[in-house]
Amino acid sequence: MRAKMQLYSGKEDVCFMEKIRIGIVGYGNIGRGVEQAVARNEDMELRAVFTRRAPESVSVKTEGVEVRRFDDMLSMKDEIDVMVLCGGSATDLPVIGPEVAANFNTIDSFDTHAKIPEYFANVDKAAKEGGNVSIISVGWDPGMFSLNRLYAEAILAQGSTYTFWGKGVSQGHSDAIRRIDGVKNAIQYTVPVEEAVNNVRSGSEPKLTTRDKHLRECYVVAEDGADRAAIEQAIKTMPNYFDEYDTTVTFVTEEELKANHSRMPHGGFVIRSGETGCEGNKHVIEYSLKLDSNPEFTASVLVCYARAAYRLSKAGENGAKSVFDVAPGMLSQKTAEELRAQML
Amino acid sequence: MRAKMQLYSGKEDVCFMEKIRIGIVGYGNIGRGVEQAVARNEDMELRAVFTRRAPESVSVKTEGVEVRRFDDMLSMKDEIDVMVLCGGSATDLPVIGPEVAANFNTIDSFDTHAKIPEYFANVDKAAKEGGNVSIISVGWDPGMFSLNRLYAEAILAQGSTYTFWGKGVSQGHSDAIRRIDGVKNAIQYTVPVEEAVNNVRSGSEPKLTTRDKHLRECYVVAEDGADRAAIEQAIKTMPNYFDEYDTTVTFVTEEELKANHSRMPHGGFVIRSGETGCEGNKHVIEYSLKLDSNPEFTASVLVCYARAAYRLSKAGENGAKSVFDVAPGMLSQKTAEELRAQML
């Protein structure tokens, strides 16, 4: 199924083209979310899924989509416009990010904040050599939250910015609990402290410690005969992960964990308040997300940036970019004229 | 006072330059707000204010700023990098927008939604002929609200977007009341209906009529001996302005109006909710503003887009743009590297 569509170019001239052909690299929660998001955007089609598993063991929902081995990407070099990289930031993306960028336009959700400059440089080099566009660190944080921090700071030059996350599951913190002796399974929720959020919303620009901003709620399945008090103590005193927070630990059965804590909601707030003028007028800018499914929302952001990568590449650009470098109009299916007439 | 600064170019190379020299065209509430906002951004300086009044009758707060006659702009062609046009959208901007764009980079807050395409075309022609960059319809609506409508719709391809305004003064509605016989003065507040906002925030995507979304609160000073019942009736039944809303009319004295209703707070919400995946997962994206001073906040948005216009012009671009065409990084005083390291 192909259809003609118009391209947003930021200019008056408009050209016609076929659907944007998407490849998914890695078919976990995010990869499956990207598949669903592509299905909801009529200017795109999913062409292939690349996996490290045996292709015949992977069944994708979309009809007619190829499932290929990870090391078989180059065979589809001319059939895919943008690869959406759905691997993890710890070990996967640092390797495959530059590797795939050498041959395809790419989008990823690299989220190890401290390593973004290094990752950007590596992807940039590969993408430039390959003549491709790679937009890194796309999602909601980094991603939409980053954009809102930037816009709000640019507008209110003097002020304070606060980011709150949750209520939602932190995979890293859940994993850290699972590594404790006697723990069979665990889920950890990051919870913003309502009093702190309200305080920030009032425009008072409070000084907040780590403990003031978030609580950590842990639901833990202990192994039979494990020392629960010791587990609770080990969690609450764990450096970096829990020691700077008020943490609650609730022991549950495996069945309870599955029944009540297997969904993936998340969300959060970026709030900036600041002053203008000479009479101390206060302003509060807030961006908030309330998400039923963290991976599906992240995937939806990835997919609209895939549209932008495609357009930037068609316009002759190359190299690594972040969300800060992409004009908002590039994300929309609408033309520049439609956007001005309908959305401005 | 000049200082060296770095230019965000969206690329790795960075160049050095002097402060961005701003001119203000029209010295009303917005113009005074722009003056204050420039003072809060250290990479800029205000060079001149252009006015239709007698220059000697206008006193600006910033030292060393020239006040010149409106028709004397060209004499400063080489001394001003960006003109911020602070006139009204009804009669002023449609004339001066293209006129100034022929000779200077410009920013304006043109907000007659229905006439944006025509205005864009006129400014675009003049700006291209003059080799200048003009960013039109900058502020919070149109402006930041437009951006948030676009981003949210691009992410959640299926869903519903709602814009609520207020609580804040509508100048147009206040003026409409003042034209009624027997009315000496009036202020009208647009007030979002809390129940509707909460309904939208729940993600239920309700169908809402005009009446469901906003109330109109009017504070009216009647002339001595005026027929108050007739005034109230005239307001509540006024086509386009009030007849489709639930409206309250409260008569006050001139002193009460001055004491309680002379500030200019405003704000509002853009909320989009939509579904992803195949299990009907819901998401709610909300952007909200709570502003002590509508004109000062609008001015702060204008000023950071003046920075972008300057950079786009330096990069060789020309013609009219909207906020949809401007990469977010262009708005910040920080370099691309700083933004990636600190804000992504």
Residue of A nearest to B326 (CA): A327
What average pLDDT does the structure give for chain A? 93
What is the identity of the amino acid at B211?
R
Q: Residue A28 above 60 pLDDT?
A: yes
Please answer yes or no on whether B324 and A325 come within 8 Å at the CB atom: no
Residues of chain B found within 8 Å of residue A322, distances taken between Cβ atoms: 329, 339-340, 344
Provide CB contacts within 8 A for B218, sequence distance 6+: B173, B177, B186, B187, B188, B189, B235, B247, B248, B249, B250
Does the pLDDT value for residue B5 go beyond 90?
A: no
Beta partners for residue A285, in sequence order: A272, B289
Type of residue at A289: L
* Residue contact B326–A327, C-beta within 8 A: yes
Chain B residues touching residue A325 (CB < 8 angstroms): 10, 327, 329, 336
The pLDDT value recorded for residue A46 is: 98
Q: Which residues contact B316 (CB under 8 A, 6 or more apart)?
A: none
pLDDT tens, residue by residue, A258-269: 999 988 899 999
| Residues linked to residue B22 through DSSP beta bridges, in sequence order | B46, B82
Nearest neighbour of A291 by CB, restricted to B148, B283, B329: B283
pLDDT tens per residue, range A207-264: 999 999 999 999 999 999 999 999 999 999 999 899 999 999 999 999 999 999 988 8
Interchain CB distance below 8 Å, A329 and B327: no
Q: Which of A144, A293, A324 sits opposite B329 (nearest CB)?
A: A324
Mean pLDDT of A32-40: 97
User: Which residues in chain B have their CB less than 8 angstroms from residue A11's CB?
Assistant: 319
Q: Could you give the C-alpha distances from A134 to A319, A322, B74, B265, in angstroms and in order?
A: 6, 8, 44, 42
Mean of pLDDT over chain B: 93
Residues of A whose CB is below 8 A from B340 = 116-117, 120, 322, 324
pLDDT digits (tens, 9 = 90+) for B172-189: 899 999 999 999 999 999
Q: Which residues of A touch B328 (CB under 8 A)?
A: 147, 150-151, 154, 323-324, 326, 328
Interchain pair B285, A281: CB under 8 A: no
Size of interface A-B (CB pairs under 8 A): 228
For chain B, what percent of residues have pLDDT higher than 70?
95
What the block records as the tokens of A130 is 């390959």
Average confidence (pLDDT) over B277-300: 96
* pLDDT of res. A7: 47
Nearest-Cα distance to chain A for B234, in Å, is: 32
**Nearest residue on chain B to A288, judged by CA atoms?**
B286
Please report the pLDDT score of residue B72 as a whole number. 94
Question: Which residue in the set A276, A291, A325 is minimally distant from B293, CB to CB?
Answer: A276
The pLDDT assigned to A20 comes to 98
Distance, in Å, from the CA atom of B323 to the CA atom of B333, rounded to the nearest integer, reads 17
CB contact under 8 A, A277 and B36: yes
List of residues 6+ apart from B51 with CB closer than 8 A? B26, B27, B58, B67, B68, B69, B70
Chain B residue numbers with beta carbons less than 8 Å from the beta carbon of A341 are 116-117
pLDDT band at B263 (very low <50, low <70, confident <90, very high): confident
* Share above pLDDT 70 across residues of chain A, in percent, rounded to a whole number: 95
The alpha-carbon gap from A122 to the nearest alpha carbon of chain B, in Å, equals 13
- Tell me if A45 sits within 8 A of A21, measured CB to CB: yes
Entry pTM: 0.93
For residue A138, the tally of other CB atoms under 10 A from its CB is 29
Please give the ipTM for the structure prediction: 0.93
Nearest Cβ partner of B297 from A283, A321, A325? A283
Q: B222-252, pLDDT tens digit by residue?
A: 999 999 999 999 999 999 899 999 999 999 9
Helix H, strand E, coil C: the string for chain B is CCCCEECCCCCCCCCEECCEEEEEECCCHHHHHHHHHHHCCCCEEEEEEEECCCHHHCCCCCCCCEEEEHHHHHHHCCCCCEEEECCCCCCCHHHHHHHHHCCCEEEECCCCHHHHHHHHHHHHHHHHHHCCEEECCCCECCEHHHHHHHHHHHHCCCEEEEEEECCEECHHHHHHHHCCCCEEEEEEEEEECHHHHHHHHCCCCCCCCHHHHEEEEEEEEECCCCCHHHHHHHHHCCCCCCCCCEEEEEECCHHHHHHHCCCCCEEEEEEEEEEECCCCEEEEEEEEEEECCHHHHHHHHHHHHHHHHHHHHHCCCCEEECHHHCCHHHHCCCCHHHHHHHCC
| 3 state SS for chain A | CCCCEECCCCCCCCCEECCEEEEEECCCHHHHHHHHHHHCCCCEEEEEEEECCCHHHCCCCCCCCEEEEHHHHHHHCCCCCEEEECCCCCCCHHHHHHHHHCCCEEEECCCCHHHHHHHHHHHHHHHHHHCCEEECCCCECCEHHHHHHHHHHHHCCCEEEEEEECCEECHHHHHHHHCCCCEEEEEEEEEECHHHHHHHHCCCCCCCCHHHHEEEEEEEEECCCCCHHHHHHHHHCCCCCCCCCEEEEEECCHHHHHHHCCCCCEEEEEEEEEEECCCCEEEEEEEEEEECCHHHHHHHHHHHHHHHHHHHHHCCCCEEECHHHCCHHHHCCCCHHHHHHHCC
Residues in chain B within 8 Å Cβ distance of A327: 324-327
Nearest residue on chain B to A30, alpha-carbon basis: B277
Cα of A239 to nearest chain B Cα, Å = 24
Per-residue model confidence (pLDDT) at position A18: 86
Chain A neighbors of B151, CB-CB under 8 A: 144, 147, 328, 331
Q: What is the pLDDT of residue A172?
A: 87
pLDDT tens for A136-181 read 999 999 999 999 999 999 999 999 999 999 999 998 899 999 999 9
The answer to whether the Cβ–Cβ distance between B10 and A325 falls below 8 Å is: yes
What mean pLDDT do residues B68-88 have?
95
Looking at this protein, which amino acid is placed at residue A134? S
For A117, which of B113, B323, B337 is closest by C-beta distance? B337
Residue range B143-167, pLDDT digits in tens:
999 999 999 999 999 999 999 999 9
Interface mutation target, options B283, B312, B330, B332, chain A, most CBs of A under 10 Å: B283
Q: Given B116, B124, B154, which is nearest A344 (Cβ)? A: B116
* Nearest-CB residue to B156 (from A146, A278, A300): A300
Confidence band for A17, pLDDT divided at 50, 70 and 90: low
Judged against a pLDDT cut of 60, whether residue A23 lies above it is answered with: yes
Query: How far apart are alpha carbons B222 and B235 in whole angstroms?
Result: 13
- pLDDT confidence band for B17 (50 / 70 / 90): low
pLDDT at B200 over 70: yes
Mean pLDDT to the nearest integer, B105-109 = 98
Which one of B153, B283, B329 has the shortest CB-CB distance to A292?
A: B283
Distance CA B278, CA B275 (A): 9
Calculate how close chain B gets to A182, using CA atoms only, in Å. Answer: 34
Angstroms from A76 CA to nearest CA on chain B? 26
Q: Which of A24-28, A88-92, A200-204, B311-315 has the lowest mean pLDDT?
A: A88-92
- The identity of residue A119, as a single letter, is Y
Chain A residues with CB-CB distance to B333 below 8 A: 154, 157
**Would you place residue B194 in the very low, low, confident or very high pLDDT band (cuts 50, 70, 90)?**
very high
Instruction: Give the confidence band of A90 by pLDDT, cuts at 50, 70, 90.
Output: confident
